[in-house]
Amino acid sequence: QVQLIQSGAEVKKPGASVKVSCKASGYTFTSYDISWVRQAPGQGLEWMAWISGYNNNTNCAQKFQGRVTLTTDTSTTTAYMELTNLRSDDTAIYYCARDRITGTTHWFDPWGQGTLVTVSS
Amino acid sequence: SYELTQPPSMSVSPGQTARITCSGDALPKKYAYWYQQKSGQAPVLVIYDDSKRSSGIPERFSGSSSGTRATLTISGAQVEDEADYYCYSIDSSGSHRIFGGGTKLTVL
């Protein structure tokens, strides 16, 4: 079955960077994009960015431009999300999800289990 | 900026029908999707393309969309359906991927 397994929880200081991994299995990695979505404590879901599993094209929400870097390693079928210049309000659970497409609409299924990133001095 | 609007919470008794709405100006032209998130767990796809039930989702879950409103219906809600439900779609330009604010469903 399709699975996305993410790396473990991280604690970082303000100004630092974090890199979260997402290992995919159960499907052809290069046939699908991967999206990243975050959820601050007690808050809703917020889409951050996506990367093509085929050609590494990326796109991200405007608020994350300049701070988010997405990469993939097709040899290990793993996607990575690096967030730089961390602030306290970046404390959140970060999810990866496989992108699906209907027409021009991208959606997400399934999701990884999530990675808690805590930013604290 | 584009928004999807959901009621923050609702409550039903077991066996009753729960209808969770999601309003957005682009919904007449864009599909709506529904995700269920139980406490401490990752979101799970419930409904895609407005009304198609995802694999493994019980038949009591259904989706519909009319005009600027999409609706998730749980017919005969069970205690195990207690969760946060998020609608999702994109704006008319296709550039922005948006989640609704989420609806906390209580079944008791």
pLDDT in tens, A59-112: 999 999 999 999 999 999 999 999 999 999 999 999 999 999 888 888 999 999
Residue entry with tokens 């990866």: A96
pLDDT, average across residues B18-40: 97
Paired strand residues for A96: A36
Residue entry with tokens 């991280």: A10
* pLDDT-based confidence at residue B1 (cuts at 50, 70, 90): confident
CB < 8 Å to B88, chain A: 45, 107-108
pLDDT beyond 90 at B23: yes
pLDDT, average across residues A7-15: 98
Give B80's contacts (C-beta < 8 A, 6+ positions apart): none
| Of the partner residues B42, B90, B102, the one whose CB lies closest to the CB of residue A44 | B102
- Torsion A51-A110-A95-A104 (CA) sign: positive
Task: Give the Cβ contact number of residue A112 at 10 Å.
Answer: 25
pLDDT score for B33: 98
B7 lies within 8 A of chain A by CB: no
pLDDT beyond 90 at B18: yes
CB pairs under 8 A between A and B: 57
A121 lies within 8 A of chain B by CB: no
pLDDT score for B94: 83
Query: What's the CA angle centered on B97, arms B93 and A63, to 5 degrees?
Result: 100
Question: Is the CB of A44 less than 8 angstroms away from the CB of B86?
Answer: yes
As a whole number of angstroms, the distance between CA A74 and CA A82 comes to 17
- Torsion A65-A68-A74-A75 (CA) sign: positive
pLDDT score for B74: 98
As a whole number of angstroms, the distance between CA B106 and CA A50 comes to 33
CA A16 to chain centre: 17
pLDDT, average across residues B75-79: 97
Among A46, A43, A33, which Cα is nearest to A83's? Answer: A46
As a whole number of angstroms, the distance between CA B99 and CA B34 comes to 9
